[in-house]
Amino acid sequence: MSAIRSSIDSLPNELLIAILSTFNSRDLLPLTLVDRRFNATATTILQYRLLHTAKMEGHEMTLESYHPIAKQSAPSMACRFMGLSPLHHTRNPEQDMNLRDLSQLYSHFLPVVSEETRRMQRVFSRRRPGVPLEQEIGDEPVTQELILDEGELFSQLCTSTGLIKSGPNPGLLASHSNITHGVVRVWRHWLAKAAAINAICPAAGCTDESTILWVDAAKNVGLRFRVTEVTQERLPPYRGSDEDPPVAYSLHYQELLVRTSHVLLAMEKAVVQEVINSGKATIIIPVS
């Protein structure tokens, strides 16, 4: 055993890096427990891979977020990559980081309804004969309205995220990797607080964690919103005495946050999927 240990210790750094680089990230993590040298080398490889996800390499993050009753009408959102940083921006991700620091890296995306999605919706939806299709140019910001009835304490958003890579032909996917799926409760008191904050500083907005709704308890995926209250004139007349009257809010999607380690694992899974499904592709069928 000591001879094996000695031969490993004698490996040049370049050779050890080359060997450990052949492991996928999930299998590389346990090797950080071997000793300090393995920990340092594996951590360096993982940091490089996490930072490299910023290139996206043809992959696109997708988001679905809708009230349960609006599943059929809610569009799938494309997510434009904005950057990579720790949640609280306490340090530069380019600096050397330990495993704990790396686990706190998030990839930041801007959710939009893409021009292509809106075009496909119009093509596959019913329209009056002779009426021309409207020209859609560029991405469209995403805004969603939530209505809470009298005495209703919260609403819900069904949320799922995934990483896709387009195939060689339009409408075909070379790979698709799910990241998370969950249901987010949007509480009345959170909406009121977020709307009040936005009313005070609508231009700058608030960028702390209070504006984020997390999809899961581990905070792997979150949504940042700007919230505005819908005017009472648009709500039905209310003459009750309940302390929680009907209210409505507009949710303006500001950001999708995904823990970068999950982005990396999804990319590695997609690479394997592409090899297995070489020559095949997933067909996208729009739902009208």
pLDDT at 79: 96
pLDDT at 1: 46
3-state class (DSSP) for residue 163: strand
Q: Can you count the helices (H) and strands (E) in the chain? A: 8, 11
User: pTM here?
Assistant: 0.83
Residues of the chain with pLDDT under 50: 1, 3, 123-124, 127-133, 287-288
Which residues on adjacent β-strands are paired with residue 255?
Answer: 224
Specify whether domain 10-54 bears CATH 1.20.1280.
yes
The answer to whether 105 and 261 have CB atoms below 8 angstroms apart is: yes
pLDDT at 287: 45
The answer to whether 224 and 197 have CB atoms below 8 angstroms apart is: no
Domain layout of the chain by residue ranges: 10-54, 57-127+138-235+245-277
The model's pLDDT over 135-150, given as tens digits with 9 standing for 90+, comes to 556 789 999 999 998 8
pLDDT at 96: 83
3-state class (DSSP) for residue 258: strand
3-state class (DSSP) for residue 273: helix
Angle at 217 between CA 212 and CA 220, to 5 degrees: 65
The model's pLDDT over 87-133, given as tens digits with 9 standing for 90+, comes to 876 667 777 889 999 999 999 999 999 766 555 555 445 544 444 44
- CA pair distance 143, 149, nearest whole angstrom: 20
pLDDT at 6: 54
- CA pair distance 49, 99, nearest whole angstrom: 13
Phi-psi region of 242 (alpha: psi -120 to 50; beta: other; left: phi over 0): beta
Ranges of beta strands (E only) in 67-117 are: 77-86, 105-113
Give me the phi and psi of 75, to 5 degrees please.
-75, 150
Distance in Å from the first CA to the final CA of the chain? 65
Return the closest-CA partner of residue 41 out of 24, 16, 22: 16
Helix (H) / strand (E) element for 38: namely helix 36-52
- Amino acid at site 137: I
